Structure 1
Amino acid sequence: MGSLFEELEAREAAARLRVEELEAEIAALSGRLGLARESLERLRIARETVAEVLAEMAPEEPAVAVDVGQPAAGAPVASAYAGAERQVIGVLTVPNWQLGMGAEVLPRVYRDIVEVVADAPGPIRAKQIVPRIGLPAEAGKIEGTRSKLKRLVERGWLDEDVPGLFTLARRQGGVSPNSH
């Protein structure tokens, strides 16, 4: 019977060695996974930061009348921003609102937001806008939309008289960003 116990001890030692080897492999893979996750997170943050910076950059040329359907008297038919979405992919510029400027100069997502605010019966919150522009009602999407709303306020497209409640900007003479 002594040889049976010796055989079991030998197998146990081999199994213990295999477990230790696998644990070492797991530890090494966990370390590599951690580094890969950190790298991914840095790249995500860099991409988002660049997108935000580019979106917040003031346009170099001021916009002109852009209501293509009904241009202001003596004003050019197209804007300095016309077709910008087709020419510069991935860069969103939100111009400062100017007299005669319509929402069509805005990048699509900003234009959608302005249209939802315009259609709302009163002040509206970011969490109410998110599903109306086709996004899932997740915290990240709500915060991203809130950031866009704040940018639209800064650029004169919207008003935020009460924190978190957004309306179309009131204009002298009744001209609003989406009037045609």
Structure 2
Amino acid sequence: MGSLFEELEAREAAARARVEELEAELAEISGKLDTAREGLERLRIARETVVEVLAEMTPEGSAVSVKSRETSAAQGVAPAYAGVERRVVGVLTVPNWQPGMGVDVLPSVYRDIVEVVADAPGPVRAKQIVPRIELPAETGKIEGTRSKLKRLVERG
């Protein structure tokens, strides 16, 4: 009978160890849950603050606000956004080309790029344009110039 009691004690010790492991995991997960709840609360406060700021920035009754409300209602956006009017922050830097339009409508960087391309005897690469518009020949500047070239081509 001694071996049965020894087996029960061994199993009890293993169960006790497992309980202690699970309690440690629970404490760790509880800490993560608290951190996640704090992050959620910060985001909620930030959203409410943005709603208040946007409401103060735009005059009431504008066509944009009516359109935003209709779009929000159609998309099922949360009621917290119902009265908020949106202001367009971004702009179209390279307008679509129309007959009679010159390079003077472009931002200065784009005008410089167009000037370099126009003065070139043949095709040019973004890598060749960057030093001519007085930018450092770094990968980031070359890629930025390449995207500007693509934007100019897309817009005609």
Q: Structure 2 length normalisation: TM-score?
A: 0.41
Structure of larger gyration radius: 2
Q: Which has the higher helix share?
A: 2
**Greater share of strand:** 1
With structure 1 as the length reference, what TM-score do the two structures score? 0.36
